[in-house]
């Protein structure tokens, strides 16, 4: 075990699975088997879908390691830009784009399977079947026998063969294969590919691979590196889905396909066969509890000692931050994915140990790290969706230095002021730059949540999109610090009026007793008004709990200040009345419910109490009587 404090040894790993598998913690106890991993391992699911940073590649890297030797063989296909361009521009006369690109993917899969079979045949301890020998000849004749060339070279080779003719003599067929009779280039390519795939399937059957051992695993990851929102990119991904489903049906249990797709890419697809993939889908979802378990696993792996949850969250980290249990505070301010959690945890450790020179993390360290983390995530969000929503960054100013609770009406007012310039900057996206359009986008990327009943729902919590009748939205806690939107409602803080020192007041009035008597009575009236407003706020069930808490905090501050300032009773009543009027105006402007159960009811109570306080202080504007409620 290394010397020094635990905090110095603590590290939560690398943000990307590729580095985390080589120099991080992914393969050293820092991987948390989840539903996606179990589904992939069991073969129940073929499509692993998740947001950027949700752990898709971590599952992929762990399966590639295959420490238990379950798979007969494994191959990982990760297209770079050159390979992606080769697929995107592949076309066949007589076939639509999706079908043509499915053929090039099928060719890649067949070649990988053929290579595997040629190398794997000896493991069965029998004479090599003729079908395997035929695959070896096919690979050699078509320049596919080597194992070191780049994917782009293999794709280029396959594209030339499918667009002209493959060498099929290994399967007992002449190069022509009577292809001159094929009605189109696409039909010719499909016939050639059927011959190759038939040869692969026959070799699997002759070796008896199906059920005798684990399958050959083919995985495709990091398509986002070559993705664009253009039609040929969409066809590239649809073609991949079609090819994988075709291969799964053709090769049976001998080959397993796993496609790791980013959720925004998969959700943008629209094709006739889409409903046939529902049973193959598994979407990665993370809860606060699961992120906490991951943090603990990685703390143990990096420290090299047993670290309990009690030690991590009570001794290394502070027990609470801003009145909230630390794990909840941290993981509520992340988007629910491992990459964000790892970044935030590492930033807390670095802030305490490297920057501030401490041996444990303090509440101040977490708050300091949180401000930096929020700025990172706001920038990262716009980059994550730069292809699909290039205007996203330009929407963030609509929420700066405001409350993080915003109504559809208030957002509409802000948006209309910026709409013309946004459409001028992004004319190709003018149809999306409407109020319903930006609400859908901001909800879809996780920036906004929608209030449903007493809960605030973010994407991933509920499959239901934002409905037209839903009017209240909340900025995700991850982005609030960067936007300066740390309060639910942007309400001005009460600043008490202290014009005179105590002794000056006593000298002017000729004695303290009478001042204290009147001051006590006036402060009692102010307390009565504060309690009346607090009671109305508590009954305002149309307001989100965060907004009610914000109002209650502001009014409670008035109450606390009043109790210590009895000598300035009249002045305080006038100042409080003015503050109540301002608070009412802000609430009405917020649009957070105009009825008695929303901001409107609280605003009216504030206005009533402001009038009453002026009358009590001797500044009545007319009517008499009390407006105080229960």
pLDDT tens-digit series, residues 503-514: 334 444 444 444
CA dihedral 281, 287, 289, 293 (to 10 degrees): 50
pLDDT tens-digit series, residues 122-177: 877 778 889 999 999 998 888 887 665 677 777 887 888 788 788 888 887 765 55
Cβ distance 529 to 613 under 8 Å?
yes
Query: Does 103 map to a domain?
Result: yes
pLDDT tens-digit series, residues 43-66: 888 999 998 888 888 888 888 876
Q: How far is CA 329 from the centre of its chain?
A: 17
- Are residues 515 and 473 both part of a single domain? no
CA distance to 177, 335, 375, 413, 511, per residue, from 398 (Å): 64, 21, 16, 10, 55
Give the C-alpha separation, 420 to 47, whole Å: 41
Cβ distance 552 to 537 under 8 Å?
yes
Give the C-alpha separation, 404 to 442, whole Å: 14
Q: How many CB atoms lie within 10 A of CB 308?
A: 12
What is the Cα gyration radius of the chain? 33
- Are residues 239 and 376 both part of a single domain? no
**To 10 degrees, what angle do helices 512-539 and 502-509 make?**
120
CA distance to 229, 370, 424, 528, per residue, from 393 (Å): 18, 20, 15, 47
Query: Does 575 map to a domain?
Result: yes
Q: How many CB atoms lie within 10 A of CB 378?
A: 18
Q: Is the pLDDT reported for residue 476 higher than 50?
A: yes
Tokens for 125, please give them.
């301890």
- Are residues 530 and 460 both part of a single domain? no
Mean pLDDT of 263-281: 85
Give the C-alpha separation, 566 to 572, whole Å: 9
DSSP 8-state class, residue 462: B
End of a domain among 236, 262, 283?
283
Confidence (pLDDT) at 576? 86
Give the C-alpha separation, 520 to 527, whole Å: 10
Q: 306 is in which domain, residue-wise?
A: 6-14+287-384
Cβ distance 547 to 408 under 8 Å?
no
Confidence (pLDDT) at 38? 87
Query: Does 167 map to a domain?
Result: yes
Most confident of 38-42, 163-167, 262-266, 358-362: 358-362
Query: Does 624 map to a domain?
Result: no
Q: Is the pLDDT reported for residue 225 higher than 60?
A: yes
Cβ distance 341 to 295 under 8 Å?
yes
DSSP 3-state of 108: helix
Of 86-95, 281-290, 566-575, the one with minimum mean pLDDT is 566-575
Mean pLDDT of 256-270: 90
DSSP 8-state class, residue 455: E
Residues forming beta bridges with residue 321, ordered by sequence position: 324
Mean pLDDT of 543-559: 87
- Are residues 196 and 213 both part of a single domain? yes
Of 16-30, 94-108, 110-124, 276-290, the one with minimum mean pLDDT is 16-30
DSSP 3-state of 405: strand
Q: Is the pLDDT reported for residue 500 higher than 50?
A: no
- Are residues 264 and 144 both part of a single domain? yes
Most confident of 30-34, 77-81, 495-499, 590-594: 77-81
Q: Report CA torsion sign: 58, 60, 64, 70.
A: positive
Residue 124 burial by Cβ neighbours in a 10 Å radius (0-12, 13-18, 19+): middle
Pick the closest to residue 404 from 328, 492, 479 (CA basis). Answer: 479
More confident residue, 487 or 569: 487
- pTM flag (> 0.75): yes
End of a domain among 331, 352, 384?
384
- Are residues 47 and 176 both part of a single domain? yes
Query: Does 24 map to a domain?
Result: no
Residues whose CB is less than 8 angstroms from the CB of residue 605 and which lie 6 or more positions away in sequence, other chains included:
532, 533, 536, 629
Cβ distance 586 to 601 under 8 Å?
no
Query: Does 579 map to a domain?
Result: yes
Give the C-alpha separation, 591 to 580, whole Å: 17
Cβ distance 273 to 36 under 8 Å?
no
Mean pLDDT in the chain? 84
- Are residues 279 and 291 both part of a single domain? no
Confidence (pLDDT) at 565? 55
Tokens for 191, please give them.
């016939």
Q: Is the pLDDT reported for residue 300 higher than 80?
A: yes
Confidence (pLDDT) at 127? 80
Q: What angle do CA 112, 117, 118 make, to 5 degrees?
A: 100
Q: How many CB atoms lie within 10 A of CB 185?
A: 18
DSSP 8-state class, residue 459: B
- Are residues 244 and 191 both part of a single domain? yes
Q: Is the pLDDT reported for residue 345 higher than 90?
A: yes
Query: Does 20 map to a domain?
Result: no
Q: Is the pLDDT reported for residue 202 higher than 70?
A: yes
- Are residues 150 and 229 both part of a single domain? yes
End of a domain among 363, 384, 405?
384
pLDDT tens-digit series, residues 391-414: 999 999 999 999 999 999 999 999
- Are residues 333 and 191 both part of a single domain? no
Cβ distance 7 to 336 under 8 Å?
no
Q: What is the CATH number of the domain that holds 537?
A: 1.20.1270
Query: Does 161 map to a domain?
Result: yes
- Are residues 194 and 247 both part of a single domain? yes
- Are residues 310 and 409 both part of a single domain? no
Q: Is the pLDDT reported for residue 245 higher than 80?
A: yes
| Backbone phi, psi, residue 448, to 5° | -115, 145
Per the structure, the count of domains in the chain is 4
């Amino acid at each position: 075990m290394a010397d020094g404090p635990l905090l110095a040894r603590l590290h939560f790993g690398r943000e990307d699975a590729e580095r985390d598998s080589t120099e991080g913690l992914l393969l050293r106890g820092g991987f948390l088997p989840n539903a996606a991993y179990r589904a992939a391992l069991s073969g129940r699911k073929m499509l692993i879908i998740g947001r950027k940073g949700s752990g898709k590649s971590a599952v992929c890297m762990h399966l590639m390691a295959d420490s238990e030797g379950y798979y007969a063989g494994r191959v990982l296909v990760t297209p770079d830009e050159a390979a992606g361009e080769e697929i995107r521009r592949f076309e066949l006369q007589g076939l639509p784009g999706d079908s043509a690109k499915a053929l090039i993917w099928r060719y890649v899969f067949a070649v990988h399977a053929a290579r595997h079979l040629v190398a794997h045949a000896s493991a069965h301890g029998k004479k090599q079947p003729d079908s395997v020998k035929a695959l070896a000849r096919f690979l050699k004749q078509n320049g596919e026998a080597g194992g070191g060339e780049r994917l782009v070279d293999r794709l280029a080779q396959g594209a030339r063969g499918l667009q002209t003719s493959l060498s099929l003599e290994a399967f007992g067929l002449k190069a022509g294969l009577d292809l001159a009779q094929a009605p189109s280039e696409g039909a010719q390519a499909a016939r050639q590919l059927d011959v190759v795939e038939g040869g692969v399937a026959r070799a699997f059957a002759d070796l008896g691979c199906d059920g005798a051992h684990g399958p050959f695993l083919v995985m495709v990851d990091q398509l986002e590196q070559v993705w664009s929102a253009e039609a040929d990119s969409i066809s590239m991904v649809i073609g991949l889905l079609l090819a994988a489903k075709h291969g799964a049906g053709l090769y049976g249990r001998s080959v397993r396909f796993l496609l790791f797709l980013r959720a925004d890419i998969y959700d943008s697809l629209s094709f006739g066969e889409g409903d046939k993939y529902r049973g193959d889908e598994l979407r990665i979802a993370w809860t606060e509890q699961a992120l906490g378990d991951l943090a603990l696993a990685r703390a143990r792996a990096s420290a090299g000692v047993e670290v309990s949850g009690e030690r991590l969250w009570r001794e290394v980290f502070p027990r609470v931050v801003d009145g909230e249990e630390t794990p909840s505070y941290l993981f509520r301010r992340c988007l629910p994915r491992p990459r964000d959690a790892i970044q935030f945890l590492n930033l807390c450790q670095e802030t305490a140990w490297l920057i501030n020179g401490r041996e444990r993390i303090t509440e101040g360290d977490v708050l300091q790290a949180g401000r930096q983390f929020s700025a990172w995530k706001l920038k990262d969000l716009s980059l994550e969706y730069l292809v699909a929503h290039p205007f996203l960054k330009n929407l963030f100013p609509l929420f700066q230095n405001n409350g993080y609770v915003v109504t559809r009406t208030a957002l509409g007012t802000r948006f209309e002021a910026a709409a013309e310039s946004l459409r001028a900057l992004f004319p190709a996206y003018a149809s999306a730059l409407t109020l319903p359009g930006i609400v859908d986008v901001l909800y879809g990327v996780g920036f906004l949540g929608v209030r449903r009943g007493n809960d605030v729902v973010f994407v991933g919590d509920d499959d239901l999109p934002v409905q037209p009748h839903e009017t209240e939205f909340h900025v995700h806690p991850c982005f609030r610090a960067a936007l300066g939107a740390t309060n639910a409602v942007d309400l001005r803080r009460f600043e008490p009026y202290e014009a005179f020192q105590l002794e000056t007041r006593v000298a002017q009035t000729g004695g303290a007793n009478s001042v204290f008597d009147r001051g006590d009575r006036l402060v009692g009236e102010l307390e009565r008004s504060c309690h009346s407003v607090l009671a109305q706020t508590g009954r305002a069930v149309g307001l989100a709990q965060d907004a009610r808490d914000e109002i209650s905090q502001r009014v409670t501050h008035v109450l606390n200040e009043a109790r210590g300032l009895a000598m300035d009773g009249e002045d305080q009543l006038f100042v409080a009345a003015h503050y109540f009027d301002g608070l009412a105006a802000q609430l009405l402007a917020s649009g957070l419910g105009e009825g008695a159960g929303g901001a409107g009811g609280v605003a009216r109570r504030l206005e009533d109490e402001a009038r009453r306080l002026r009358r009590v202080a001797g500044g009545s504007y007319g009517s008499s009587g009390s407006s105080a409620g229960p």
